[in-house]
Amino acid sequence: MREAKTLNDPRAESYALGSLGRLYELAHQSKEAQTLTQEALAIAQATNAADIAYRWQWQLGRVLKEQGNKKQAIAAYPVAVETLQSLRKDLAAINPDNPDIQFFLT
């Protein structure tokens, strides 16, 4: 994370924070996982990196579920789905005839 900040690379910083959050999630340290995931999500959203944000939205839903915050967890999942749907639309607009994109869109 330090290197990402030094390089002024918010995408790398978001990935580092979110990945660390995932490790805390796997270790069942949900408070730390939540904090790191929310930081990663905030950076991804601030830089309009929807291709990263959906991961942290989904991860946040899992962490909240683990904490027993079902209402918040349920609210997090549709946001991740909306983000993915917007990515699909963006991909379709870029080159709708690309077979790789058609695979993703189906």
Check pLDDT > 90 for residue 85. Answer: no
pLDDT in tens, 67-83: 999 999 999 889 988 98
Taking residues 7-17, what's their average pLDDT?
A: 92
Residue 94 banded pLDDT, cuts 50, 70, 90: low
- For residues 36 and 16, the answer to whether their CB atoms sit within 8 Å is no
Torsion of CA 58, 60, 63, 65, to 10 degrees: -70
- What single-letter DSSP state applies at residue 81? H
Report how many domains make up the chain.
1
Taking residues 12-18, what's their average pLDDT?
A: 96
Segments forming the whole domain that contains residue 6: 2-105
pLDDT at 72: 93
- CATH classification of the domain holding 90: 1.25.40.10
